[in-house]
Amino acid sequence: MTDAVALTQTLVRMNTINPPGDEDQCCDYLAGLLSAAGFSCARYEFAPRRTSLVARIGDGSGGKAPLCFTGHVDVVPLGAAPWSRDAFAAEIVDGKLYGRGSSDMKSGVAAFVAAALDLADKLKKGPGLVLVITAGEETGCEGAFDLARRHEVEGILGSAGAIVVAEPTANYPLVGHKGAFWLKASTAGITAHGSMPECGDNAIYKAARAVSALERFEFEAAPHPLMGRATLNVGNIRGGLNINSVPDAAEIGIDIRTIPGIRHSDLYGCLCRHLGETVRLDTLLDVESVYTDPADPWMQSVFAVMVPILGEVPVARSVSYFTDAAALTRVYGGPPTVILGPGEPQLAHQTDEYCHVHRIEQAVLAFRQIITEWYMP
């Protein structure tokens, strides 16, 4: 059996803070393990050392598409607060594995890779597995969208009948997440001396009117039963040269979190009309929501797998953060997708991040059973 805890430690000790990322070190290491077990591995760079890995096993028999597991190996910066432990030592203390990325989400990647390695010999015939291990998730799913673009031309991702996203959920299965639509609203004016504002055109006044309009904006979509309402937040605003000049440019940062039923392209047009011709909108991030009906038979089978591990029957839940599933579910034609991983969700991006060792071990057991049931229902 593969030691998923030791594999997590190995991955955490590789510094993949994004930026710059340098995810190639994790993907090269995992490709070596998976290739030795019989997986076909291909690596793809969207920038130097920004490597994603696609690993496949199975001969395509059995009359169904492969099961897909996905996770990212980039991590966020350490932050300004000092850590009490070395962020890249992967120490285990009192059953907790410390380090940047231990929960978000190298433990999840290690758990599904370990499960895949343990079952590799049985998976060489049949529908098999596809493992999609990505770079650049933390800055907008760059690696996953790069793979999606390549797939449209080269078909590099193959097919998938269901997807497991091993993001941190403390091993609680989630049926979806909100989308993220980040926009930059820009206004332009004419500069002039601050003592003669009538000679200029104040871009900040235009931006202020835009902010007021955004505060009044109402989404047409009804609240989702699990995710609630779509939200809009003005996160920053900047503009002007100095206090005694009329500003000729201003920018507003808009963070929108969407729910199923909202198409970002339609929302963009609605916002353009709402703000008017004096405001230019540019898209910074476009990650749509993901949702699977909890009554879906495969989702119910995943819930059943988790009952003995959780000690309770899962109920349908979702989260507001986004995942690579936003890129992959579209590529794979919208298969059922569960977000399920051993990391602690409240520790993602936190100082002194850790993952409970027992959750990693539980995740391996769960992933093995999910794979086995997919292979031999």
Kindly list the distances between the CA atom of residue 340 and the CA atoms of 16, 101, 115, 135, 295, in Å, as whole numbers in the listed order: 22, 16, 14, 19, 17
pLDDT value of position 320: 87
CA atoms within 13 A on the CB side of 325: 29
pLDDT value of position 376: 76
Give the pLDDT confidence of 195-222 residue by residue, as tens digits: 999 999 999 999 999 999 999 999 999 9
Count of all residues that appear for the chain in the document: 377
Element housing 44 (H / E): strand 40-47
Q: What is the mean predicted confidence (pLDDT) over 108-125?
A: 97
DSSP 107-158: HHHHHHHHHHHHHHHHHSSSS-EEEEEES-GGGTSHHHHHHHHHHHHH-TT-
Give the pLDDT confidence of 142-188 residue by residue, as tens digits: 999 999 999 999 999 999 999 999 999 999 999 999 999 999 999 99
Residue 2 contacts residue 111 (beta carbons within 8 Å)? no
Phi/psi at 138 (5° precision): -65, -20
Q: What is the mean predicted confidence (pLDDT) over 97-102?
A: 98
In eight-state DSSP terms, residue 198 is G
Q: What is the mean predicted confidence (pLDDT) over 261-289?
A: 97
Give the pLDDT confidence of 243-254 residue by residue, as tens digits: 999 999 999 999
In degrees, rounded to 5, the angle at the alpha carbon of residue 128 between the alpha carbons of residues 120 and 62 is 130
CATH architecture for residues 179-287: 2-Layer Sandwich (3.30)
Report the alpha-carbon distance of residue 289 to residue 376 in Å, rounded: 31
- The residue extents of the domains of the chain are 4-177+290-375, 179-287
Q: Report whether CATH 3.40.630.10 matches the domain 4-177+290-375.
A: yes
Q: What is the mean predicted confidence (pLDDT) over 311-329?
A: 95
Judge whether residue 377 has pLDDT over 70: no
